Structure formats: C-alpha cells, structure tokens
Amino acid sequence: MSFAHSQHEALFALEQDGYFGRFGGSFIPEILHSTLEELKQAFVNVCLQPEFWRDYVEIMQTYSCRPTPITHLANLSKVVGGAQIYMKREDLNHTGAHKANNVMGQGLLVQRMGKKRVIAETGAGQHGVATATMAARMGFDCTIYMGAVDVERQRPNVFWMEQMGAEVIPVTDGTATLKDAINEAFRDWANSMDETHYALGTACGPHPFPLMVSYFQSITGIEAREQILKQAGKLPDRIFACVGGGSNAMGIFSGFLNDEAVELVGIEAGGDGLDTERHASRLTDSGSSTGVAQGYKTYFLQNDEGQMRETHSVAAGLDYIGVSPILSHLHDVNRARFEAATDSEVVDALRMLMRHEGIIAALESAHAVAGALREAATMKPDEVILINLSGRGDKDIFTIADALGDERWQQFLKERANQ
C-alpha cells in the first residue's frame, strides 16, 4: 500500500454516511439529489484507484509545478527565537495558491461525467482564477459567482478570470461576499445541472464535496510529510494553516492525521477581535452554534433565531459564516486546535515575513503565519513548526498597501476610486 493510499484511508475513515461525527450531511432541494448522487458515484468509483491518483499527480506535476517545496525560514526563526519554522510553499503552485489542486482534480471528474460547463464561487478570487484556468485547459464553458464587495477588493483576479474566458457575475445580495456567491452558484446549478458541474472551492457544502475537496487537497500534506522528514529530520511538532472554509487546512492536515504527536492548529479570521461582531471565527467564538445552511451541518456564526451574522476579515477568502464539517469534527474530538488572529496581527506577520524572508503571503495565509509566530517563541529550539502558505499576495496589493499605511498607495487608491 502506498503512503498516499494509507492517508486517503485515514481521511475516508472520518466519514460515515456523509457525516463526520455529527457534522456534514446533504441538506439539498430534491431537484439536486440525482445530480449529487451522480457526482458521488463518479468520485467513489475512482477515489481509491491508484491509477486515478497517479493520473492526477501527473497532471499536477506537468501543469501545476508540483511538488511545491518546503522552505526553512532560518531568518525568521532566529528573529522570533524558539522553534525552527518551515513553510510549505503552495504560493508557488500554478495560479498562486492551493486552489489548483482541487479544481484540476474536479476537472478530471467532469471529463469522466461528460459535462461541458463548470461554475464556481470565489471570495479571494484564487478559486475563481483556478477554475477559469482548469476550464480553459480542459475546454469547458465557465461562470464564476463573486460577491460584489470581493469583486472590488480583488480586481486583479477578476481581470485574469475574464481573460481566460470565464464570465464573472457580481453578486449584490446580502453582504455581497462569499456566502452570497455560494448561494447564487447553487441557484445556477439547480437550473442547469444536466450540463453543468459546480466546482465548489472549499471543503464545505453537501456530501460528497467536503470529502472530495479534501481528497484532492491532500496532495499538499502527502508531499509535506516526506519533505519535512528529509529537511528537518523529524515530523513537525505543530502545523499551522489558515481556516476559511477549510480546504488548505484539510490539505496539509490530511498528511498527518495518523501522527498523533503532530498538533494540528487552524487559525481563523479574528478581524477586529473576538470581543466585537467584526470577525469570522466559527471555532474560536463561543457565540457560534451548530446549524444547517448551504447544504450541510456545521458550526455557523448565527444569531439565536438561526439567522446568519455578518462577518468581517481583511482577507476576502476567510470572510465566511461556516467551516468545513471535517474541521468541526476534528475540533470536537480534540484532534485539531483552533485559534484566531486579528487583522492587525496578520498585517504585522505579513510585514515580518516580507522583510526577513522576502516572501509575500496572501492575507489569508498570513493568518497562519501570525498564529505560528505567536507560538514559536514559547517553544524549544529543537522543536519544528510547519506553516502551510496557501497562497501568494499579488491579489492583495491594494488591500495590503492600504493596511500598511503607505501614503503614496493610499493617494493612488483614492484617485482610482474617484475615476
């Protein structure tokens, strides 16, 4: 049995009839039932076939620059003190983030199902770019739903999606962010399911999406386990990943599920602080509760009447009311620990990473960096931290410049807004 196969079995062992403990399920309109059954069967028929995984790995190696490396952050480790800090470089993956891992895998499934159109939601824009890339490569029509707020703060990604032939539809409902984009994508799918596949971008939604997305993202953790053993000579003591929906966290965590001595740490969006209403922390906010929305059961930020609360994060990709049911389960069984990083902590961490290592992280990924830096100094010099850098920060240039208080960029942004 290959190591990848054993890790996939550990992942699949978490699932029971579409649930992960008490989370998950498939709460969908009857009209979508047959479509999800078709998708589930297509996935089940190939997911444990070694030849399918080999085909998937080959396309990721020849098209998407895998395996991505691990970088020892020697300078930052010295500045912070304590543990040695390593970083899995998903920012070097094609399209600049971990998102390509999932969409290329789903693209292979779409080909097998014979469908000709793909739709997707996106928050930070990275999943939208990755889906547009996959559609161009594999010859699918493509529509991307994106909250109108995110369209404005992620304008560079919108440009690239459109250049690759995707139609980008701004969503103005609700808070005009990620949850609203997901709602619109589901509406489209319900009306076009015969020829359309919904390439959901994170490990959320109705079964089989959480398991399927985690399966394709597990390539990150499978690579990382072998790499860190070779470079550091041991398994990491702690692994840090940012947590929005949960796909990059599940990707890196999946390579270490059987390694009980490795602590898995997810860092959520603390926004302006957990003592305010302006954050997106589902697993670290005592005010979150179990609910059902967008086809699945998990922890949501909702009020006493079950209505979803507004969320906030400096990072568009973490600005979401729910979280992967798999991560909710890992939280409840104490296999993973979850913390939050505020917007200001994230900006400080990003500045340190740029100044000491020359690496520009996405704002989403910088949450993991902030969490790791906060804990590294409390650890011993022979201990090892591994951060999953899920994406690069090109897309965030305007937001980062504004957050850093660069007067020249702020003037540029003001002039741009008045055009």
Residues 333 and 289 in one domain: yes
Q: Which domain holds residue 91?
A: 70-96+218-414
Strand 296-300 versus strand 289-293 pairing type? antiparallel
Computed over every residue of the chain, the mean pLDDT equals 94
List the catalytic residue out of 26, 218, 288, 390: 390
Residue 5 is predicted with a pLDDT of 86
Instruction: Name the DSSP class of 395.
Output: G
List the catalytic residue out of 99, 115, 179, 395: 99
152 catalytic per annotation? no
State the CATH number of the domain containing residue 39.
3.40.50.1100
99 catalytic per annotation? yes
CA distances 261 to 22, 33, 51, 257, 379, Å, are 25, 40, 31, 10, 15
List the catalytic residue out of 64, 77, 115, 121: 121
Residue 419 is predicted with a pLDDT of 60
Among residues 161, 190, 209, the one where a domain terminates is 209
Q: CA 144 to CA 162: how far, in whole Å?
A: 10
The two structure tokens encoding residue 378: 């409390």
| Global pTM value | 0.94
Among residues 209, 244, 262, the one where a domain terminates is 209
Residues 150 and 277 in one domain: no
Residue 207 is predicted with a pLDDT of 97
390 catalytic per annotation? yes
Q: What is the pLDDT of residues 43-91, one digit of tens each?
A: 999 998 899 999 999 999 999 999 999 999 999 999 999 999 999 999 9
